[in-house]
């Protein structure tokens, strides 16, 4: 079975967090079925913060020289463009605070997509996005990329609001190879920033070995 790094290397726009001992230790905690909800939330939030920080690394910058308290110049950088977070409700909302902690006064939008019980296909129920979203870089937030159906519908909503695909960054904690392939085939210009790529989807379209239902573990259990 190919490793996460080998799967990510097949695509130009898949950014996999460095698989350090720290990161693998965090995933070992949140994957454990015995981990209590407070610990799950705490350690999932740490991973979310790492994802947001990696996303910020891919925003455009320009040179900027400032003067330090010693009176000397420092040649640094200045971020270009405004940011907006868009969460796919409900699990995606768990990632909003991590974005706020890294970006002060960041705008947040929401998209609600649920599976139609008759067709088993994703259906758009609600969207609330900033009016100027087409002028922003968008961090699309959803912890799990399984089949990719909800994420692709969310991207369609963003594109309909004139967001350029190269300005969209899809952040998730865990992805399935099937979802990555489907998503990248349809939206090759959009970067996926993920913390881990698992083995596959099972017959019920759950990521395995996975970590269970992220939303339930984060909010309920």
Q: What is the DSSP letter of 171?
A: E
Q: What is the Cα–Cα distance from 112 to 200, expressed in whole angstroms? A: 25
Residue in 172, 210, 189 with CA at minimum distance from that of residue 87: 172
- Burial of 31 from C-beta contacts in 10 A (0-12 / 13-18 / 19+): middle
Residue from 132, 139, 59 nearest 98 by CA: 139
CA 159 – CA 165 distance, rounded (Å): 7
Q: Which residues are catalytic?
A: 115, 119, 213, 216
Residue 196: cis peptide before it, omega within 30 degrees of 0:
no
């Amino acid at each position: 079975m190919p490793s996460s790094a080998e799967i990510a290397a097949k695509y130009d726009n898949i950014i996999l967090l460095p698989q350090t001992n720290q990161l693998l230790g965090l995933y070992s905690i949140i994957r454990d079925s015995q981990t209590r909800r407070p610990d799950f939330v705490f350690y999932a939030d740490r991973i979310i913060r790492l994802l947001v920080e990696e996303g910020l690394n891919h925003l455009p910058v320009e040179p900027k020289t400032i003067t330090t308290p010693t009176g000397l110049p420092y040649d640094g950088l200045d971020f270009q463009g405004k940011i907006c977070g868009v969460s796919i409700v409900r699990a995606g909302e768990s990632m909003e605070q991590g974005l706020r902690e890294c970006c002060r006064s960041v705008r947040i939008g929401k998209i609600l997509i649920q599976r139609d019980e008759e067709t088993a296909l994703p259906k758009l129920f609600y969207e609330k996005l900033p009016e100027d979203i087409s002028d922003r870089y968008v961090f699309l937030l959803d912890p799990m990329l399984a089949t990719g159906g909800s994420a692709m519908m969310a991207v369609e909503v963003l594109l309909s609001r004139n967001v350029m695909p190269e300005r969209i960054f899809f952040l998730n904690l865990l992805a399935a190879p099937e979802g990555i392939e489907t998503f990248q085939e349809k939206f090759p210009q959009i970067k996926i920033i993920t913390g881990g790529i698992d083995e596959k989807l099972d017959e019920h379209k759950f990521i395995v070995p996975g970590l269970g239902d992220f939303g339930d573990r984060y909010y309920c259990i």
